[in-house]
Chains A and B, each alone.
Chain A
Amino acid sequence: MNLLRIELHKILPYRTVWVILAIYVALMLLILFASSNVSINGQELGSQMYNLPQFWQTLTYIASFFNLLFGILMIVLVSDEYSFRTLRQQVIDGLSRMDLVLAKFYVALGLGVLATIFVLVLGLYFGLVHGQNHASDAIFGKIDHLSYYFLQAVGYMSLAMLFGFIIRKSGLAIIAFIAYAQVVEPLIHFRLPDNLDKYMPIKVLKTLTPMPAQDVLDQMTTPTELLSLPWAAVLAAGYIALFWAMSFYTLKLRDL
């Protein structure tokens, strides 16, 4: 807990953190308000879209677009410690390398909790105010999507943390992280058969927030083979542990 307190001392007065979080909040609100006005076949999507429990899936799918933003925030926090040489100072003053990695992992968990609570609040607000179904089984019916979203956010941040610890320079690490998540792995997916690529980290993380109209899409094209949600969750937890262990060994084998 002391580690988390130390991290909070660093993060709370840091403007960059607030700016990135504000961008996330603003964009989420913008998308939700704007999409209610989208009409398909002359029918407004809005009222339908906000209907719980289906809304939880839609909402977490939209929120998943911004995992890259949290990843970038994580990279900034890790690479700062290198450029300020504060990793070095903290080890001199008494922390171990394990403490350094744990502290950042706590930050990822904390940000994940924040993002999940924000999505929960959004879901309740739009679902209850604009949606039509207010029964409790509707509200809590698919609320487990929130926990999958939490796992996904922490997963992206853990991967970003690993890039930060390995590459050290923020610009380069951000580029490498986005390139891996958006370009390199998708290219590999093209080459590999579905039954293999469904186990790759980004694919696993993406599986956690399934696209709302996936079943419709699957009817029109060849269905993509994906892991079931619980299996994807188990695998994602495994990847998080792996990224965390790799970050630790990166620090352990290096001079600070």
Chain B
Amino acid sequence: MFISSNLSLKGVSVILEIDKLSKRYGSIQAVDRLSLQIEEGSIYGLLGPNGSGKTTTLGMVLDVIRPSSGSFSWFGQPVSRSTKHRLGALLETPNFYPYLTAQRNLEITADIKGADKKQIAHVLHTVGLSHRTHTTFKGFSLGMKQRLALAAALLNNPEVLVLDEPTNGLDPEGIAEVRELILRIAAEGKTIILASHLLDEVEKVCTHVAVLQKGVLRAEGPVSTILSAKDQLIISAENTVRLLEVLKQLPFVESYQPERDLVHLTLQEGYGAAEVNKAMFEAGVVLQQLTLRRKSLEAQFLEIIKQQA
């Protein structure tokens, strides 16, 4: 009966499989035939600007938004009470009863998830809300609400965490803490699915990323291959013509682009500013300027979107 269809060829369990999932709101195609596979143990980032379909996608796999077409499965099974109990999820906003305290709100969550109420103190401690156990939810700051939602997601010690913009509304300290918390949880071997519009967040936290734009999957794969663009060097010399001649002959220069008296170059992997400087000096060109410029993540992101469009 239980032939594990959630085993991929490599033997790694597939946690979530999405197959041509679509959602249409009137004339707006919010998600367009999205297919993804999320493997056990990964920190999977869903990256895209606001309105790119991240929340809609998560809403569909969390059973609160009806897909227009397509299908998905958790742990190789259709969504059900038992698959839900293996997840902890926060979608869009922290959702609690404003007139109840943190403790009482989490008691309700524990009842629904079938979790032990003794865990409540523990999860409140984990997110740093122990001192607010008996404060009503409506008195919480946005950051505290977000932490309480994280605490609720952690109840029942789930195998998978689904987090939609988990650092929304947090101050810089809170953001750092939440990211650290995510990495700590991931270190326990849990799978994390994280939606974010912050490239920097995805780069810092995730192992895999899917880039969404207007509901369409633009790129997907390990963060290192999708988001690591090579660094750029900017050089100049008194004799730009001679400089360009030398550049043409250097095997490790992937491309270059003169811009007035400056030249922008991209090098092959494993080469850096030192090699360029050395080669120029040997060719008798003295560089006046040699600057390393990291390509901004935003620029990379725009590139990904442009390439695929």
Contact = CB atoms under 8 A, between A and B. Distances in A.
Interface stretch (B93-101, B207-215, B224-232): B93-101
A92 B66 contact: no
Interface stretch (B84-92, B179-187, B189-197, B298-306): B84-92
A84 B112 contact: no
B81 A96 contact: yes
Contacts of A15: 99
B113 interface: yes
Nearest to A81: B97
Interface string B98-116: 1110001001110111100
B282 to A, nearest CB: 64
B63 interface: yes
B113 A94 contact: yes
Given A9-B111, A92-B62, A94-B114, A85 B93 contact: yes
A135 interface: no
A6 B112 contact: yes
Contacts of A6: 108, 111-112
A86 B95 contact: yes
B9 interface: no
A90 B98 contact: no
A191 interface: no
Contacts of A254: 66
A14 interface: yes
A88 interface: yes
Interface residues of B, number: 28
Nearest to A5: B111
A93 interface: yes
B274 interface: no
Find the residue from A80, A84, A90, A254 having the highest chain B CB count within 10 A: A84
Given A93-B112, A94-B85, A94-B113, A9 B104 contact: yes
A215 B81 CA distance: 55
A201 B99 CA distance: 35
Interface string A86-103: 101111111110000000
Interface in B110-148: 111-114
A9 B95 contact: no
A6 B107 CA distance: 9
Find the residue from B66, B89, B107, B112 having the highest chain A CB count within 10 A: B112
B204 to A, nearest CB: 26
A248 to B, nearest CB: 15
B65 interface: yes
B309 interface: no
B221 to A, nearest CB: 28
Nearest to A6: B111
Given A255-B64, A255-B65, A256-B65, A94 B97 contact: no
A76 to B, nearest CB: 12
A94 B65 contact: no
B76 interface: no
B59 interface: yes
A13 interface: yes
Contacts of B109: 89, 93
Contact of A90 (B65, B85, B112): B112
Contacts of B98: 84
Interface of B: 59, 62-66, 81, 84-85, 87, 89, 91, 93, 95-100, 104, 107-109, 111-114, 152
21 contacts: A6-B108, A9-B108, A10-B97, A13-B99, A13-B100, A84-B97, A85-B93, A88-B64, A88-B91, A89-B91, A89-B96, A89-B109, A90-B112, A91-B63, A92-B62, A93-B89, A94-B85, A94-B112, A94-B114, A96-B81, A255-B59
Given A9-B104, A89-B109, A90-B112, 18 more contacts: A6-B108, A9-B107, A9-B108, A13-B104, A80-B97, A84-B95, A86-B95, A88-B64, A88-B91, A89-B95, A92-B62, A92-B91, A93-B84, A94-B81, A94-B112, A96-B81, A255-B59, A255-B66
